[in-house]
Amino acid sequence: MMQDSQPSGSRDPLLKVENLVVEYAVGGKTIHAVSDVSLQVARGETLGLVGESGCGKSTLGRAVLQLRRAVSGRVLFDGHDLTAMQGDALRQMRRRVQLIFQDPIASLNPRRRIGDIIAEPLVISGVKDPKKRQELVCEVLSAVGLDPSLVIGRLPHEFSGGQCQRICIARALVLNPEFIICDEPVSALDVSIRAQILNLLEEMKARYGLTLLFIAHDLAVVKAVSDRVAVMYLGRLCEVGPSEQLFARPAHPYTALLIEAIPVPDPDVRPAESVPVGEPPSPISPPSGCRFRTRCPRADQRCADEVPELRKVAPDQFAACHHPLIAAG
Amino acid sequence: MTEPALLSVEEVSVDLPTPRGNLRAVDHVDLKIGAGRTLGIVGESGCGKTMLSRAILQLLPKKAKLSGRVMFDGQDLVRLEPERLRKLRGRSLAVVFQDPMTSLNPVLTVGTQLIETLQEHLELDGHAAKRRRAELLAAVGIPAPEQRLMQYPHQLSGGMRQRVAIAIALSCEPKLLIADEPTTALDVTIQAQILDLLAREQRRRHMAMILITHDLGVVAGRTDEVAVMYAGRVVERAPTPALFKKMRMPYTEALLAAIPKIDAAPHTPLPAISGRPPDPTRPIQGCSFSPRCRYAADQCYREKPLLAAAESLDHQYACFHPIQITAGVDA
């Protein structure tokens, strides 16, 4: 149950993304990766961000950290506009925001020892005393369930994927950040390991008082950890709302399609045979109006003419659809 | 009921020499599949499911050592001459791999790749083959097939590429299709489309299928029978409904429990399986799941449980302490 009935905007937002637009130039063409997306993440909250490949969810995560500069729009972190920051000021802010990637093995330098990998952010941020660094490294390693004495001197290839992800989480935690962007942190892991890492993220969130942006394509995984969920399609936000409410009563037809397409591990639940045909169109020339209209069973002329605005459909739940599955209460 | 099996895998083991010693990838596996049936093989990375499929197809790495028999349609594939094996593969024994980008030839058009298979196996003349290939693409749900024939794999989306790979696999009306993680590289809405396509074509052609996946959700609604693999062995095998309702092997139970459920409340801790699968170069004396199993007792650490039938002939499991209670709340 959500204990908070206020609209999410009026809670204390740690991160505010306002009308963010990110584009890539590829071979003389423009990829509209993120188009006019606005989001908020309240302090202490986990916001799940779901969508299929190419929907712009990872780009959005990177644009928050200014690893990819926005064409327009603002990213406010704790009131500071990151899009206006450069150099040292930005580096200082980045200490407070960390990133965990999908492929844990590829995101660790194969030639460096684990102890050095985790100490690196401390070196960069100016912790000069090696003893102090060692102490902090050992502390985070124990926190993520690894024995520092067995781990520090070893190289990444000596560890399994799940252990490497623990190491990446330790590296993200070592600067004691407030906000962590998790970009598909468990999709490269096996089912039994995935559950361990999801539980670990929840534990770390409680222990370090973190706020999380959890990016994933798997709705069940997102629901397991998120207070609220935002759904993206082809660069635009379709729907955002409290997790349980969104899954019980999706308003956007795309959210409903995603939920329907999840394979359920129960032989009595026959797979829906009615999954709409077609694939997401190219983000180089997205459809006019609502970008989902080419696959949407409810689409009409209005959907082609007019970009749907994000509108309130239920308490705390907003959908960008001209013909939502639930009407505003 | 007692239809002779189309494929019967008998006592198959696969050993791979590695710098760290011998790796037993597949360990004494027995499996059967009847014509027109679907068998799901489920397991995590390194459990041997892909090596098993390669052993069936006789596509193992050169250094691998295979023992046992693979009887397909009355012939032992292990002892078949290479020329006859080549004729069989692609004709009555077809395969779809996980990554369609690497299984398709990047420098040939889709049309050329389809023609190759058709002419090789069906000896169709150019005209007939050309007509046939457009039909095949249409059958797997590719819009504007005539245009797609002229395109190269990189011009297609992942889902479209997998459809092409399926069209090629189905082109010679195989008796058995092995689909090895066919949807793992695809998005969830595309995954559902591809699984629907496979199911539809299978019914239509009365073709048998082995669906290999790491996802119990994928096999639940789409297979007749499931074999769960762990550390190179089949640890439980049952008709799909029985496996989900009356699972006996603690690993199966733990694997199912570890999947996040869409109807669970957010922030519910997941019952994770502690530890990780054993190192296959260092075999464990007893049950290979025993170090991670919450029911493990003395015997489990000393002896290897054999896969044996229990209450019914078609439900087998390898466990000394099977789960007795019925899974699910009101099953």
In SS3 terms, A258-318 reads as HHHHCCCCCCCCCCCCCCCCCCCCCCCCCCCCCCCHHHCCCCCHHHHHCCCCCEEEECCEE
Contacts of A263 in chain B (CB under 8 A): 191-192, 195, 215, 217-218, 220-221
| Residue of A192, A196, A225, A254 to mutate for B, most B C-beta atoms under 10 A | A192
Note the pTM of the prediction, 2 decimals: 0.88
Give the pLDDT confidence score for residue A279 in this predicted structure.
78
Q: Tell me the per-residue pLDDT of B190-225, one tens digit each, with 9 for 90 and over.
A: 888 889 899 999 999 999 999 999 989 899 989 999
Contacts of B268 in chain A (CB under 8 A): 224
pLDDT of B2 over the 70 cut: no
DSSP B77: G
Structure ipTM over 0.85, yes or no? no
Give the pLDDT confidence score for residue A274 in this predicted structure.
53
Task: For residue B28, name the pLDDT band (cuts at 50, 70, 90).
Answer: very high
Cβ burial of B183 (10 Å; 0-12, 13-18, 19+) is buried
The helix/strand/coil state of A161 is helix
Find the CB nearest A221 among B44, B245, B260: B260
Question: Could you tell me which of A270, A273, A254 has the C-alpha nearest to residue B193?
Answer: A273
Give the pLDDT confidence score for residue A276 in this predicted structure.
59
- Stretches in chain A below the pLDDT threshold 70: 1-11, 270-277, 328-329
CA distance B62 to chain A (A): 25
Contacts of A219 in chain B (CB under 8 A): 188, 262
Find the CB nearest A202 among B217, B256, B267: B267
Q: Write out the DSSP string of B157-190.
A: -HHHHHHHHHHHHHTT--SEEEEESTTTTS-HHH
Give the pLDDT confidence score for residue B312 in this predicted structure.
77
Q: How many CB pairs under 8 A join A and B?
A: 139
Find the CB nearest A191 among B188, B240, B259: B259
Find the CB nearest B272 among A196, A217, A243: A196
Q: Write out the DSSP string of A114-132.
A: HHHHHHHHHHHTT---HHH
Contact indicator for A209, A44 with CB cutoff of 8 Å: yes
Q: Tell me the per-residue pLDDT of B258-308, one tens digit each, with 9 for 90 and over.
A: 999 888 899 999 998 988 888 888 888 899 999 999 999 999 999 999 998
Distance CA A18, CA A63 (A): 12
Contacts of A271 in chain B (CB under 8 A): 192, 195-196, 221-222
Distance CA A42, CA A212 (A): 9
Six-digit token string for B227:
């074999």
- Say what angle helices B250-257 and A191-208 make with each other, to 10 degrees: 50
Q: Tell me the per-residue pLDDT of B229-246, one tens digit each, with 9 for 90 and over.
A: 999 999 999 999 999 999
In SS3 terms, A93-118 reads as HHCCEEEECCCCCCCCCCCCCHHHHH
Give the pLDDT confidence score for residue A11 in this predicted structure.
65
Question: Could you tell me which of B47, B10, B217, B181 has the C-alpha nearest to residue B102?
Answer: B181
Cβ burial of B137 (10 Å; 0-12, 13-18, 19+) is buried
Q: Bigger pLDDT: A3 or B112?
A: B112
Give the pLDDT confidence score for residue A164 in this predicted structure.
94
Give the pLDDT confidence score for residue B284 in this predicted structure.
84
Q: Indicate yes or no: CB of A275 within 8 angstroms of CB of B189.
A: yes
| Residue of A3, A191, A226 to mutate for B, most B C-beta atoms under 10 A | A191
Separation of CA A142 from chain center:
26
Q: How confident is the prediction for chain B on average, in pLDDT? A: 89
DSSP B98: S
Dihedral angle sign, alpha carbons of residues A59, A61, A65, A71: positive
Nearest CA in chain A to B142: A278
pLDDT of B75 over the 50 cut: yes
Q: Bigger pLDDT: A222 or B125?
A: A222
What region does B159 belong to: left with phi over 0, alpha with psi -120 to 50, or beta? alpha
Nearest CA in chain A to B242: A267
CA distance A112 to chain B (A): 23
Contacts of A193 in chain B (CB under 8 A): 44, 276
